[in-house]
């Protein structure tokens, strides 16, 4: 049981180490939603990007851009 926990955490930390670098954005949060791994980035204006890990190809794809609109 203990070995399974260690191995699963090691695979997850490997994905965290391979996060995409986005100019102007900095890493904000890491989420696990069911079997999906999501990461969120935010810039200085409050805009945010969310990426999802495609586990079959070990690549990150952008799934959402949220802008902070101030009027």
pLDDT at 32: 84
pTM for the model: 0.71
pLDDT at 31: 85
Here the contacts of 57-60 (C-beta below 8 Å, separation 24 or greater) are: 58/15, 58/18, 60/18, 60/19, 60/20
pLDDT at 14: 64
Instruction: Print burial letters for 14-30: b (CB count within 10 Å at least 16), e (below 16).
Output: eeeeeeeeeeebeeeee
Tens digits of pLDDT across the chain (71 residues) = 444 443 445 455 666 667 888 899 998 988 888 888 889 999 998 899 999 988 888 888 999 999 987 65
| Residue 9 backbone class (left: φ over 0; alpha: ψ -120 to 50; beta: rest) | alpha
Q: How many Å is the Cα radius of gyration of the chain?
A: 14
């Amino acid at each position: 049981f203990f070995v399974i926990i260690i191995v699963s955490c090691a695979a997850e930390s490997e994905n965290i180490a391979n996060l995409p670098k986005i100019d102007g954005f900095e890493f904000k949060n890491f989420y696990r939603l069911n079997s999906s791994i999501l990461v969120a980035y935010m810039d200085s204006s409050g805009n945010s990007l969310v990426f999802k890990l495609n586990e079959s190809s070990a690549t990150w794809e952008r799934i959402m851009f949220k802008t902070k609109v101030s009027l």
